[in-house]
Chains A and B, each alone.
Chain A
């Protein structure tokens, strides 16, 4: 895992395959077939030495109930099949009471929630063949009874599980902007030595609220936050996360070059 990467998605697989300097990519874990052939462009990347990281979105590590063992096995299988150096998931929950939310939902920053996450992360780690990195999410709302600051909440989870951190600077930006706080303060308070890699993404304002859509251009303040992060401690790898409304290749190339410039890593284009 080194340098600048981009999330592999079927819609842009041709674009990703053509990036000459690419050293790592990420694939949505639930889209990796457990049996049968893997997408040919993905195995081609793996075979030329590009690290491929399965990124889970459905484990619900923050759910009060134990995670589904079948989902963990599926994530482990994806890691094995791709020869992944690590896997990643979110500090969030996606279902409760028999209902699927269809999206990553925030947890209360409480001791009880820390215990629930730690229990589930420990269950997952017992079955996974590689290290697990945890990603804090962008939340549009907070719970009414937060006991811990975001940094305390995250640090305690990382300390108790030994998990790595997948830091999404766009999420840091979105949360700070919507809460009216300073994103740099969170960077100062997080254990940056635990960062495995970083997500960079775009968003859009809708009804006075900034939404982390992954379907818009990366705004300038997010790139500034990449620079601010790298000034504190440069992470081993950073990647553009684009999940929809795919722009022309020239726009993606410009965004990848901008992330390289902001982080000081070589351009991969």
Chain B
């Protein structure tokens, strides 16, 4: 579980071209790996030749795993949805590439109306920015 690893993400096509040029012989593999990851986490179509049922099962398993990881980082957010959490998370995360469990939880928390403990959890992790941070930004 890594937290908040946000890397600038170049458009997939540009990344593939760079990668292909650098890796030479592996360019075909790199493009195909990118297409598979895009299908699993970014809503892209399943590449030709794969068993759609099994890739879909892997996609759902990834969403369940991410829901568990985000709940570990944001326990009160997850608890506020009770048993519906895996489903709530999966609906929100479907087609959104993982940004790390901490960041995913933050983004989800900011996108829904929260009350009570979950709202307090979000507030405690996003303190108002100080003037010296604002100046640097």
Interface of chain A residues 8 through 37 with chain B (CB within 8 A): 28, 30-31
Judging by beta carbons under 8 Å apart, are A140 and B57 in contact? yes
Q: Known contacts A64-B19, A145-B49: does B26 contact A99 (CB below 8 Å)? A: no
Q: Does A126 contact B (CB under 8 A)?
A: no
Nearest Cβ distance between residue A111 and chain B, in whole angstroms? Answer: 10
The verdict on A100 contacting B22 (CB below 8 Å), with A31-B1, A108-B29, A209-B54 known, is no
- Give the top 6 A-B pairs by smallest Cβ distance, nearest first: A97-B34, A144-B49, A64-B30, A141-B54, A96-B33, A102-B98
B15 within 8 A of A: yes
Given contacts A97-B38, A98-B12, A99-B41, contact A244 B68 (CB under 8 A): yes
- Contacts across chains A and B counted by CB atoms under 8 Å: 118
1/0 contact string of A56-97 vs chain B (CB within 8 Å):
001000011110000000000000000000000000010111
- In the complex the two chains form, is A96's CB within 8 Å of B51's CB? no
Instruction: Output the residue of B11, B34, B37 with the most chain A CB within 10 A.
Output: B37
A40 at the interface (CB under 8 A from B): no
Asked whether B45 is an interface residue with its Cβ less than 8 Å from the other chain, the reply is: no
Q: Take A65-B23, A113-B29, A140-B61 as given contacts and tell me if A100 and B15 are in contact as well, using a CB distance cutoff of 8 Å.
A: no
Q: Are B29 and A98 in contact (CB-based, < 8 A)?
A: no
Do A211 and B61 touch (CB < 8 A)?
yes
Residue of A nearest to B10 (CB): A98
A65 to B99, CA, bound (A): 20
Q: Does B58 contact A (CB under 8 A)?
A: yes
Chain A residues lying within 8 Å of B106, measured Cβ to Cβ, are: none
- Give Cα A184–Cα B25 distance, bound, in whole angstroms: 35
B50 touches A141 (CB 8 A): yes
CB < 8 Å: which of A28, A65, A101 contacts B37? A101
| Contact between A97 and B15, CB atoms less than 8 A apart | yes
CB interface residues, A 116-156, toward B, < 8 Å: 116, 140-145
**Taking CB as reference atom, which chain B residue is nearest A31?**
B1
Residues in B with CB closer than 8 Å to A232 are none
Whether A64 lies near B33 (C-beta < 8 A) is yes
Q: Is the CB of A100 within 8 A of B98?
A: yes
Question: How far is A184 from B50 in the complex, measured between Cα atoms in Å?
Answer: 26
Q: Whole-angstrom distance between the alpha carbons of A45 and B25 in the complex?
A: 45
Interface size on B, residues (CB 8 A): 49
The answer, yes or no, to whether A165 is at the interface (CB within 8 Å) is: no
Neighbouring A residues of B27 by C-beta, 8 Å: 64
Tell me which of A28, A30, A96, A244 contacts B36 (CB under 8 A): A96
| Beta-carbon contact of B29 and A64 below 8 Å | yes
Asked if B65 is an interface residue, CB under 8 A from chain A, the answer is: yes
- Please tell me if the beta carbons of A102 and B34 are within 8 angstroms of each other in the complex: no
Q: Is B119 an interface residue (CB 8 A)?
A: no
Task: Please tell me if A105 contacts chain B, counting CB pairs below 8 Å.
Answer: yes
Is A257 located at the chain interface by the 8 A CB criterion? no
| Interface contact B15-A66, CB-CB below 8 Å | no
A96 in contact with B37 (CB, 8 Å) = yes
Which residues between 26 and 70 of chain B lie within 8 Å of chain A, taking CB atoms?
A: 26-38, 40-42, 48-51, 54-55, 57-58, 60-62, 65-66, 68-69
Query: Does any Cβ of B come within 8 Å of A207's Cβ?
Result: yes
Q: Which B residues are CB-close (under 8 A) to A112?
A: 25-26, 28-29
Q: Are A58 and B12 in contact (CB under 8 A)?
A: no
Q: Which residues of B contact A31 (CB under 8 A)?
A: 1
Q: Which residues of B contact A58 (CB under 8 A)?
A: 2
User: Separation in Å of the B106 CB from the closest CB of chain A?
Assistant: 16
A100-B99, A112-B26, A116-B29 known, 13 other contacts, Cβ within 8 Å: A30-B2, A64-B26, A65-B30, A97-B16, A97-B19, A97-B38, A98-B10, A98-B11, A100-B41, A105-B36, A140-B61, A141-B55, A143-B50
